[in-house]
A and B are shown apart, each in its own frame.
Chain A
């Protein structure tokens, strides 16, 4: 079986994330984003590649949206309302609550800026949202009989999730955007260890390694404080949601601590509504912020007030949050035009700006003039502060996640081509995992796990589940030692957890393990176990495969055992022992046996040698004194010094072949009389 991955967006670029994955016949679209840097058909993923007939309802099992950023959700209303997708759409509660605000905000910007026919209307957004099924974290959702999905906390923005999907035996994770370190308002990504065939991960910062976030946050606060202290105005262009609330929490808290009175403004009315959502969804934030719900909800900002357009040219310092981010148009552009010419003012920009936006132009070099269009030129004298903290993971975080999940394959998306190539090479060479970085509209096919489902008998399972007494007889050093040897020799190993008593567990594949990059994967104790080999798998045409214990196999097959033994009747030199003692035949035999017994016991100290009177036994090997004249197993008939020789009839099973030949060689070298 194969997993096919068609990358419709965010292939070797950032923007319009959209990956269509086919697993065991189920097709899932992960994210349905738009590209902010384009205004033509490149803006949306090329959906026609999913289905020639454009019948998306039969082509797709479901759509999964990881978070509310436009590069992940921007094309959704277009896809459902214009392209006609009607099937289920899954996203987390916060994403579902905040997505319409995000889409509507962007729609307005588009209409304002271009004045052209809108690609989707507000009704489209509302209709689209009706198709959404909200999901909670870690909740296993059965999309249909075969397809299971589950969301995991991804940090990044409120409600961002990584999604796990499983069909039959094949399983994968699509990360969306994530952060591996907690910040002031969100926690770090968290996921269980799982068996995965494929991991599709973002790689925005494929080669960057960042230090602590708190230091960078301080830099930002200092820059803002310095600006307002010298009477300047601070413009913070952001999208209505996410970064805006994060910075607001930072500033509100800082203002409180420093007793600052300079006003902080919000440009759009909709952010008030957004804050209401943040308040109700506070359980999706960081531990620290979460705990404020019962006292003073951290999203009840004390120092933040609404901004009026007429205040743009008002004198005095202030801080203003204005949409959209990256200064791609709208109100933030309007304010930028007015404030940019003054040296006193400060513009803060996010760590990443899409090519084509003013934000991008400000970041590349330090321009003093920016051409808005043919006729408009903006004089840029203000200071620019680039936010050095980002809600995306750095390359160490990506490597940690890949290492932790140890998938069979990795696909990189949502990054810049050259950096992705570097990371791809690292994942391949350092972790030994095949890694791909397909471009847009390319398909990657990987093979996926298949498994046989057999009915195992209780006897087999019980035999494997009960404690291994062999292991209890030896001391600890022996155990570990023998297990190493056994491992090399191909013996199966079973990991037994000390604390769990009778119940064993395979720690290497412990699904419970919470994500922790420092977690060591080694088992607590490795114990050699041959009991798996006592299981026999029987496959009969047209019947379910069956696993039985070897002791019940013949009964199961309805067959009679045919034992195969080895036998050897060999002479053993007993010296004068036979002659000197005048004893009856029986007691002579028992003397010889006990002599042989002590010999074997001392030579085979690690074995349990038993003297059962009539014969000696070690495992399946038996030895008796043979008095038959023409014993069929007697291979040497020519005997010198007959009275110093007795015949020992040996017999064994193939399982103890090595042991048997060892005993025979001991017997050959043996001289009973000399001891």
Chain B
């Protein structure tokens, strides 16, 4: 098995991407889009006046730079809104992925809706023919998010016109020279060398085409690829529909762990017990991001083994994993956001929550509306997105994908989500866009708005930020993973309060080791930074560590494979007992099939028994016994007396007298039968076969 980490991703919205070679198949894990560089583009201007002003200033700026024609580094002006690229934005995909010919990929596994957003870039490549697997819910949510992305991007297309060749205009070397150094860093890496992976936005047709190539699965459903691989998805808890994978092939059992959450308030919980497999590929970088922020962390052991429960029995470990502390922490975060939101609306400001996480959005919706009720505030909540209505409708018809508490609501006859009631009571309003007529009729401030896009470059958020950025009593809730300074650049001066928070996006560092202990793999394939924290001497598994861009080989554990032989088949075999030891032996007969990763031997269709003669013999023939057998068959022969003193004393002869003449020459490792008659020679072979071992 060969494993290559193409990208370790960045945040919740940018999951890792890997390639796995196994049993002759190539599997790609996830296909995300890296939105972190999107803020180098300028958002769609509010109106043309504003545009012309800004354009003017930026052009002046450039001109002056050109005129001076001196080292940019000394004289570069400070980063301001004019530095942003005024063009239809491009999107960054995994640059390492471009090194792999997509036509050689057999399977693409999508673990979450976020891991799906780059898929149309891949499926529109020439020669792409891989089978894509994703859960039903991920597929649907991914589709909704892509539709939204296309719709939001349309605003740029309408503004800049659709000259296809002009899209990458800003990437021309002469244009890049003019780009602000800080932006170049964001877009092309610190050394500015990373030019690959920029793509113009896909079209609605690309999305549609992509969706047709996706095979959807339910949790725990077996997908059998080409008979050889059995692929299953199990809930990861990260988001509705998000999953981890198990892959069984005849030679190896693998569990792939993506970012997972033990207790989720919406999605079905992390089903970790299903991942007890021989090889674990650990691909949750969420705790490592945090760790990077804390210096000197690498020297601290991940988990003091003494702190683990005595004997580390499974139950104790399970208790450790199910420790609900993280849930408490998360709900405290949400409560804090709620309280900030209440404060803002109480002081007459509005609250803007640009978020693309369905789970957190649904939860905040419930909690904020409850807080408003509690504070007796009549403030409308708006959910503005081209897909808002569909998203909510969808969330309401997928109880099978939700956590236990939500399911329990279904079974006790309640609505699964509070938004159904909120919509009925007209506390929550759903609109496709900021300029939809119904919104304008209903609009009321202060208000609370949920809308995309978290990058602050696309969608309704741009317009609302422009509206409120000067209002010191309004609140903007942002997520970690965003370069805030750059993101807020077009909205300066920024007087809104900004609350940046990180929601749980994976397994907590302290739970990694207990988890591995529960899963008991033989091999653990871990990210480099994580493997350094695990003391492999005290663990029962072998650790392999991987890093971005490098291929890792993990050796096979077994040289043999299991073959199932139906008893009907086994019964029809010609069994033979060996002369020595208690060993029975037979040649196989039947039809070998590989199905669902298992080799099976079925009885053959045509049941004509041919008595096949042994082709291989071993052992030494007992000549006295051979003569006895021969005479029983009516063949008379005599053993030629050994020629005393002859060198070739190893060679003995039996001369056949009756029914015809012939000779059997017995050498050390060979016997030669020589008679003229066909039947007689076959009978002698039969006799010889009985005194030797053979098959």
Q: B-contacting residues of A (Cβ < 8 Å)?
A: 93, 96-97, 100, 129, 134, 136-141, 169, 273, 276-277, 279-283, 293-294, 297, 449-458, 461, 464-465, 487-490, 492-495, 500, 502-506, 509-512, 532-533, 535-541, 546-547, 550, 553-554, 557, 559-570, 632-633, 635-636, 651, 653-655, 657, 661
Q: Lowest 6 CB-CB distances: which A-B pairs, in order?
A: A506-B593, A139-B220, A456-B563, A559-B618, A535-B588, A633-B674
Q: Chain B binding site: helix, strand, loop or mixed by DSSP?
A: mixed
Contact A550 B616 (CB under 8 A): yes
Please, which residues of chain A bring their CB within 8 A of the CB of B584? 538-540
Contact B604 A454 (CB under 8 A): no
Closest beta carbon of chain B to A615's beta carbon, Å? 16
Please, which residues of chain A bring their CB within 8 A of the CB of B217? 138
Check A537/B606 contact, CB under 8 A, given A136-B219, A456-B562, A547-B563: no
Q: Could you say which of B92-100, B406-414, B470-478 contacts chain A?
A: B406-414
Complex partner residue of A282 from B397, B559, B563, B608, CB under 8 angstroms: B397
Check A564/B618 contact, CB under 8 A, given A93-B400, A449-B567, A487-B606: no
Max chain B Cβ within 10 angstroms of own Cβ: one of A294, A489, A561, A562 = A562
A/B interface sample: 9 pairs, CB < 8 A: A293-B394, A294-B394, A535-B587, A562-B621, A562-B669, A563-B617, A564-B685, A565-B670, A633-B672
Please, which residues of chain B bring their CB within 8 A of the CB of A169? 564, 566
Q: Which residue of B lies closest to A507 (CB)?
A: B593
In the complex, whether B688 has a CB less than 8 A from a CB of chain A is yes
In the complex, whether B212 has a CB less than 8 A from a CB of chain A is no
Max chain A Cβ within 10 angstroms of own Cβ: one of B232, B407, B564 = B564
Closest beta carbon of chain B to A233's beta carbon, Å? 31
Tell me the complex Cα distance, A487–B604, Å. 8
Tell me the complex Cα distance, A362–B326, Å. 63
Tell me the complex Cα distance, A465–B227, Å. 12
Check A568/B671 contact, CB under 8 A, given A453-B564, A461-B599: no
Q: What 18 new A-B contacts, CB under 8 Å, besides A139-B219, A451-B565, A565-B673?
A: A93-B410, A134-B411, A138-B220, A141-B220, A294-B389, A452-B570, A461-B563, A503-B24, A532-B592, A539-B585, A540-B583, A550-B616, A550-B695, A553-B616, A559-B693, A563-B671, A564-B672, A567-B665
Contact A505 B226 (CB under 8 A): yes
Contact B563 A567 (CB under 8 A): no
Contact B604 A490 (CB under 8 A): yes
Tell me the complex Cα distance, A71–B275, Å. 39
Closest beta carbon of chain A to B21's beta carbon, Å? 15
Contact A540 B581 (CB under 8 A): yes
Tell me the complex Cα distance, A535–B616, Å. 12
In the complex, whether B348 has a CB less than 8 A from a CB of chain A is no
Complex partner residue of A492 from B559, B591, B595, B607, CB under 8 angstroms: B591
Contact A557 B618 (CB under 8 A): yes
Tell me the complex Cα distance, A490–B588, Å. 12
Contact A533 B685 (CB under 8 A): no
Q: Which residue of A lies closest to B392 (CB)?
A: A294
Contact A500 B226 (CB under 8 A): yes
Contact B615 A654 (CB under 8 A): yes
Contact B591 A489 (CB under 8 A): no
Q: A-contacting residues of B (Cβ < 8 Å)?
A: 24, 217-222, 224, 226-228, 232, 250, 389-390, 393-394, 396-400, 407, 410-411, 413, 415-416, 559-568, 570, 573, 581-596, 599-602, 604-610, 612-621, 653, 661-663, 665, 669-676, 678, 681-682, 685, 688-689, 692-695
Closest beta carbon of chain B to A652's beta carbon, Å? 10
Contact B610 A489 (CB under 8 A): yes
Closest beta carbon of chain A to B106's beta carbon, Å? 10
Closest beta carbon of chain A to B650's beta carbon, Å? 13
Contact A96 B661 (CB under 8 A): no
Q: Which residue of A lies closest to B409 (CB)?
A: A280
Tell me the complex Cα distance, A500–B396, Å. 41
Complex partner residue of B227 from A455, A503, A565, A635, CB under 8 angstroms: A503
Closest beta carbon of chain A to B287's beta carbon, Å? 29
Contact A564 B692 (CB under 8 A): yes
Please, which residues of chain A bring their CB within 8 A of the CB of B220? 136, 138-141
Please, which residues of chain A bring their CB within 8 A of the CB of B613? 654, 657
Complex partner residue of B674 from A280, A494, A567, CB under 8 angstroms: A567
Tell me the complex Cα distance, A414–B431, Å. 52
Contact A562 B619 (CB under 8 A): yes
Contact A559 B619 (CB under 8 A): yes
Q: Chain A binding site: helix, strand, loop or mixed by DSSP?
A: mixed
Closest beta carbon of chain A to B250's beta carbon, Å? 7
Contact B619 A541 (CB under 8 A): no
Tell me the complex Cα distance, A290–B561, Å. 44
Tell me the complex Cα distance, A162–B670, Å. 62
Contact A493 B595 (CB under 8 A): no
Contact A490 B606 (CB under 8 A): yes
Contact B672 A651 (CB under 8 A): yes
Q: Which residue of A lies closest to B556 (CB)?
A: A458
Tell me the complex Cα distance, A524–B455, Å. 52
Please, which residues of chain A bring their CB within 8 A of the CB of B398? 283
Contact B588 A566 (CB under 8 A): no
Contact A655 B676 (CB under 8 A): no
Contact B221 A140 (CB under 8 A): yes
Contact B411 A96 (CB under 8 A): yes
Tell me the complex Cα distance, A279–B692, Å. 75
Contact B653 A632 (CB under 8 A): yes
Check A451/B567 contact, CB under 8 A, given A533-B589, A553-B695: yes
Check A562/B617 contact, CB under 8 A, given A461-B250, A539-B584: yes
Contact B393 A511 (CB under 8 A): no
Check A281/B397 contact, CB under 8 A, given A561-B618, A563-B671: yes
Complex partner residue of A633 from B221, B564, B663, B670, CB under 8 angstroms: B663
Q: Which residue of A lies closest to B608 (CB)?
A: A490
Tell me the complex Cα distance, A539–B570, Å. 11
Tell me the complex Cα distance, A511–B594, Å. 11
Contact B397 A129 (CB under 8 A): no
Contact B224 A512 (CB under 8 A): yes
Please, which residues of chain B bring their CB within 8 A of the CB of A636? 676
Contact A560 B618 (CB under 8 A): yes
Please, which residues of chain A bring their CB within 8 A of the CB of B673? 564-567
Please, which residues of chain B bring their CB within 8 A of the CB of A93? 399-400, 407, 410
Tell me the complex Cα distance, A280–B682, Å. 76
Contact B588 A532 (CB under 8 A): yes
Check A493/B604 contact, CB under 8 A, given A503-B24, A553-B695, A554-B618: yes
Contact A492 B670 (CB under 8 A): no
Q: Which residue of A lies closest to B220 (CB)?
A: A139
Please, which residues of chain B bring their CB within 8 A of the CB of A546? 560
Tell me the complex Cα distance, A452–B573, Å. 13
Closest beta carbon of chain A to B668's beta carbon, Å? 9
Please, which residues of chain B bring their CB within 8 A of the CB of A559? 618-619, 693
Contact A511 B596 (CB under 8 A): yes
Contact B599 A533 (CB under 8 A): no
Q: Which residue of B lies closest to A126 (CB)?
A: B412
Please, which residues of chain A bring their CB within 8 A of the CB of B674? 566-569, 632-633, 635
Please, which residues of chain B bring their CB within 8 A of the CB of A494? 591-592
Contact A564 B592 (CB under 8 A): no
Closest beta carbon of chain B to A491's beta carbon, Å? 8
Please, which residues of chain A bring their CB within 8 A of the CB of B675? 568, 635
Check A492/B560 contact, CB under 8 A, given A97-B410, A136-B219, A547-B588: no
Closest beta carbon of chain A to B579's beta carbon, Å? 11
Q: Which residue of B lies closest to A634 (CB)?
A: B674
Tell me the complex Cα distance, A561–B695, Å. 11
Contact B588 A536 (CB under 8 A): yes
Contact A452 B617 (CB under 8 A): no
Tell me the complex Cα distance, A100–B221, Å. 27
Contact A564 B218 (CB under 8 A): no
Please, which residues of chain A bring their CB within 8 A of the CB of B565? 451-454, 537
Please, which residues of chain B bring their CB within 8 A of the CB of A137? 218, 221
Check A533/B612 contact, CB under 8 A, given A283-B398, A452-B564: yes
Closest beta carbon of chain A to B470's beta carbon, Å? 37
Complex partner residue of B586 from A458, A504, A537, CB under 8 angstroms: A537
Tell me the complex Cα distance, A564–B615, Å. 9
